[in-house]
C-alpha cells in the first residue's frame, strides 16, 4: 500500500474515516529528522499489524528557548523517503498554526515529576510535550502509541498522564537505539561536529563502568561518574542523577529490589544531549 501524506487535519480525518472498522491504529509521534531510533518504533508498530501513523511536528510548545527551536534540524524529504521504505501507512505533517491556532490557551500540567531532571532546566517543556501528545491522541484516537526510552522522563510522564486521565491508549516504550560506540541516537547528534562527536561517545563508555562498582550510596555513584565524565571532556553537565526507574524518586541507598537508572543531560559543543542507563 502507498504511504498517505496528510498535511492538514481535514485530510487526516478523511483518511482515518476510511479505515476498516476494526483496524487498530498505532501512533509514532516524532519531530522529524528520522533516524534508526524512530525506525525501531515504526518497526514495532508495523510488526503489531497496526495501521501505522507517524507524525512529524516540531512542537513549539515544548521549546523553552527560541534559538533551540530555530536550530532544531529538519530534513522532510529524506524523512518521507525513509518512512515510505518502512511502509508507514500514513504520515501526518501539520503546520504549527493548525495545532495551535491564534488564541490557543489550553495546556496540560503534571505537577510532581515535571520539574525534576530535564523539567528542572527546561521550564514548561513537559507541559508542551504532554499537550501535543494528548492532542495527537484525541485527534488520531490510536489503539497504541510508541515512544523511545532515550527520553525516559517523557515516557514516564506520558504513561502517568494516560493513567491519571483514563486515556485508553496503550503506551509502548522501546529501548534506546545506540550507534556502534553506544551513543544514543538523537536528531540532535546531527549538530555535533568533529571532536565533539568523539566526546559525546564517551557518555555511554562511562556509564558502562558503573556496573563493575560496588557502591552502597547513590551519591558516591554520582560523584564517581561526574569525575569520570569530566576526565573524558564532558565538563558541561546540566545534571547527572541516579533515580528509581519505576517511581522516578531519588533513593539515598542502593537496596535490593530497587530498579535504578542514571540520567544525564550534558552540553557538548553547545548541543544538549540526554541519555539514561539502567544500573540493575
Ligand atoms: O520525543 C519527541 O520527539 C517529542 O517530544 C514528541 C513525543 C514527538 C512530542 O513532540
Q: Which residue has the cell 491508549?
A: 169
- Supply the pLDDT for residue 185: 98
Q: How many CA within 13 A on the CB side of residue 147?
A: 18
- Supply the pLDDT for residue 257: 75
Ligand 1 neighbours by CB, cut-off 6 Å: 29-31, 59, 62, 129, 132-133, 151, 154
- Supply the pLDDT for residue 29: 98
The model's confidence at residue 211, banded by pLDDT at 50, 70 and 90, is confident
Q: Which residue has the cell 553537565?
A: 237
- Supply the pLDDT for residue 228: 97
CA 129 to chain centre: 10
Cα end-to-end distance, the chain, whole Å? 43
The alpha helices in 72-175, defined as continuous H runs, are 76-85, 96-99, 118-121, 125-140, 152-164
Q: How many whole angstroms separate alpha carbon 174 and alpha carbon 146?
A: 7
- Supply the pLDDT for residue 117: 98
For residue 59, what are the CA distances in angstroms to 21, 91, 100, 111, 186?
31, 16, 10, 21, 16
For residue 89, is pLDDT > 90?
A: yes
- Supply the pLDDT for residue 210: 86
Q: How much of the chain exceeds pLDDT 70, in percent?
A: 100
- Supply the pLDDT for residue 252: 83
Closest C-alpha residue for ligand 1 atom 2: 30
Q: Residue 73 in 3-state DSSP?
A: coil
Ligand 1 center to 224 CA (angstroms): 32
Q: Are strands 271-278 and 260-268 parallel, antiparallel or unpaired?
A: antiparallel
- The helices-and-strands tally (H runs, E runs) of the chain is 11, 9
Nearest Cα to 90, choosing from 1, 176, 162?
Answer: 1
Closest C-alpha residue for ligand 1 atom 8: 30
For residue 54, is pLDDT > 90?
A: yes
Q: Which residue has the cell 550510596?
A: 217
Q: Which residue has the cell 508495523?
A: 46
Round the average pLDDT of the chain to a whole number and report it.
96
- Supply the pLDDT for residue 258: 85
pLDDT per residue over 195-204, tens digit each?
Answer: 999 999 999 9
Q: Among all residues, which ones are annotated catalytic?
A: 38
pLDDT per residue over 112-157, tens digit each?
Answer: 999 999 999 999 999 999 999 999 999 999 999 999 999 999 999 9
pLDDT per residue over 217-263, tens digit each?
Answer: 999 999 999 999 999 999 999 999 999 999 999 988 887 778 999 99
Phi, psi of 11 (to 5 degrees): -65, -40
Whether pTM exceeds 0.95:
yes
- Supply the pLDDT for residue 255: 77
- Supply the pLDDT for residue 215: 83
Ligand 1 center to 213 CA (angstroms): 34
Return all residues near 136 (Cβ < 8 A) that are at least 6 apart. Answer: 27, 29, 55, 145
- Supply the pLDDT for residue 7: 98
Q: How many whole angstroms separate alpha carbon 44 and alpha carbon 50?
A: 9
Q: Residue 186 in 3-state DSSP?
A: coil
- Supply the pLDDT for residue 35: 97
Amino acid at each position: 500500500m502507498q504511504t498517505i501524506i496528510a498535511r492538514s487535519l481535514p485530510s487526516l480525518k478523511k483518511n482515518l474515516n476510511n479505515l476498516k472498522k476494526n483496524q487498530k491504529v498505532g501512533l509514532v509521534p516524532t519531530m522529524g529528522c528520522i533516524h534508526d531510533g524512530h525506525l525501531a518504533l515504526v518497526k514495532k508498530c508495523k510488526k503489531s499489524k497496526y495501521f501505522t501513523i507517524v507524525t512529524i511536528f516540531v512542537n513549539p510548545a515544548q521549546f523553552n528557548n527560541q534559538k533551540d527551536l530555530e536550530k532544531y534540524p529538519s530534513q522532510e524529504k529524506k524523512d518521507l523517503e525513509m518512512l515510505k521504505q518502512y511502509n508507514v501507512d500514513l504520515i501526518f505533517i501539520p503546520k504549527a498554526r493548525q495545532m495551535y491556532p491564534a488564541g490557543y490557551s489550553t495546556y496540560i500540567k503534571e505537577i510532581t515529576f515535571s520539574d525534576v531532571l530535564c523539567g528542572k532546566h527546561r521550564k514548561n517543556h513537559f507541559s508542551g510535550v504532554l499537550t501535543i501528545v494528548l492532542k495527537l491522541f484525541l485527534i488520531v484516537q490510536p489503539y497504541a502509541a510508541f515512544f523511545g526510552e532515550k527520553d525516559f522522563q517523557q515516557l514516564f510522564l506520558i504513561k502517568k498522564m494516560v493513567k491519571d486521565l483514563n486515556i485508553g491508549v496503550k503506551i509502548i516504550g522501546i529501548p534506546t537505539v545506540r550507534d556502534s560506540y553506544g551513543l544514543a541516537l538523537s536528531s540532535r547528534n546531527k549538530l555535533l561536529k568533529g571532536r565533539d562527536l568523539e566526546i559525546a561517545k564517551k557518555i555511554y563508555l562511562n556509564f558502562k563502568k558503573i556496573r563493575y562498582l560496588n557502591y552502597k550510596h547513590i551519591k558516591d555513584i554520582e560523584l564517581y561518574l561526574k569525575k569520570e565524565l569530566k576526565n573524558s571532556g564532558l565538563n558541561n553537565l546540566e545534571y547527572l542523577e541516579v533515580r528509581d526507574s519505576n517511581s522516578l524518586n531519588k533513593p539515598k541507598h542502593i537496596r535490593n529490589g530497587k530498579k535504578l537508572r542514571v540520567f544525564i543531560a550534558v552540553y557538548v559543543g553547545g548541543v544538549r544531549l540526554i541519555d539514561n542507563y539502567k544500573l540493575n
